[in-house]
């Protein structure tokens, strides 16, 4: 394995040449606050995250997405039951 190959698999910590959309803080904010699983391409193509961090954030966002969808389902069913009782 050459040095170039090794650098491809490890996280680059202080790279000034990294585009803004590969910044770890920005990607985490996008995943948690807005795009949820839609931000996975940003996460997995970013050279600034290690493999372990990519796996951690993937699992975290999947759990967050499931909880959010469950919360929406629960809220809508509660709203529907309230509307039915008012009829």
Least confident of 6-10, 41-45, 59-63: 6-10
The larger pLDDT score, comparing residue 12 to residue 40, is at: 40
What span, in angstroms and rounded, lies between the C-alpha atoms of 28 and 35? 10
Please give the pLDDT value at position 8: 43
Contacts 24+ apart (CB under 8 A), 54-62: 57/27, 57/28, 57/31, 61/31, 61/32, 61/36, 61/37, 62/37
Please give the pLDDT value at position 27: 76
């Amino acid at each position: 394995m050459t040095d170039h190959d090794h650098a491809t698999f490890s996280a680059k910590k202080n790279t000034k040449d990294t585009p803004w959309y590969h910044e770890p803080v920005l990607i985490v904010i996008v995943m948690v606050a807005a795009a949820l699983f839609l931000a996975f391409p940003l996460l997995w193509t970013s050279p600034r995250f290690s493999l372990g961090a990519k796996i951690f954030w993937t699992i975290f966002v999947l759990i967050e997405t499931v909880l959010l969808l469950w919360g929406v389902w629960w809220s809508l069913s509660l709203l529907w039951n309230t509307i039915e009782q008012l009829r």
